[in-house]
Amino acid sequence: MAEETQAEKVERIERQRTEAEELSWALRAVVQASGEVDRTLARRLDLRPLDYAAMTHAMNAPDLLGPVELSERLGIATGSATELVDRLEAAGHLRRDRHPNDRRRVSLSPTDTSVRTILEALEPLLTDLDALARDFTPDEQAAIQRYLRSAADRLHRYARRTDGT
């Protein structure tokens, strides 16, 4: 690469800075649009925002999820979580199961019909997004994925660090 004057260097860095900010802004737009999707989906399922959030947690939970952990994730009191689960169970969205070994615990899992309904509603969006991904070369896909994973990680870290629980 050829020599670079100080002015050129400054300009290059400046350009990179603004482009980096553009990228962060694009990310923000995605998040905002995703919020819209969540809102309309919650309305379609006839769920209050918090109840919808509870369902997403129930569907993504890596391991067993109980009312207490749910209350922590949603930032509500445990009693409120119990009532929330009551509502979702009554509406046929969630199932309560006793843990076989520790009978204090309650396992919350989404019902099959609920999962199917949500996936059906989301299916066109998911295939659309998958199609979008296929418009990029493998190298580009790798870069995008690297960016997304790292961004998610940093967002997660920030949330954890800022959170005063």
Partner DNA sequence: CCGAGCATCTCGGAGACCGAGATAATCCGG
Partner DNA sequence: CCGGATTATCTCGGTCTCCGAGATGCTCGG
Q: Of the two residues 59 and 76, which places its CB atom closer to DNA in the complex?
A: 76
119 binds a copy of itself (CB under 8 A): no
- The single-letter code of the amino acid at 71 is S
Cβ–Cβ under 8 Å, residues 41 and 52? yes
112 binds a copy of itself (CB under 8 A): no
Total residues binding DNA (CB under 7 A): 25
* Among candidate residues 132, 144, 157, 151, the one with its CA nearest the CA of residue 24: 151
Counting runs of H as helices and runs of E as strands, what totals does the chain give? 6, 2
- The single-letter code of the amino acid at 66 is G
Rg (the chain; Cα; Å): 22
Among 82, 109, 111, 117, binds DNA (CB under 7 A): 82
10 binds a copy of itself (CB under 8 A): yes
20 binds a copy of itself (CB under 8 A): yes
* Site residues, DNA (CB under 7 A): 48, 50, 66-69, 71, 75-80, 82-85, 87, 96, 101-106
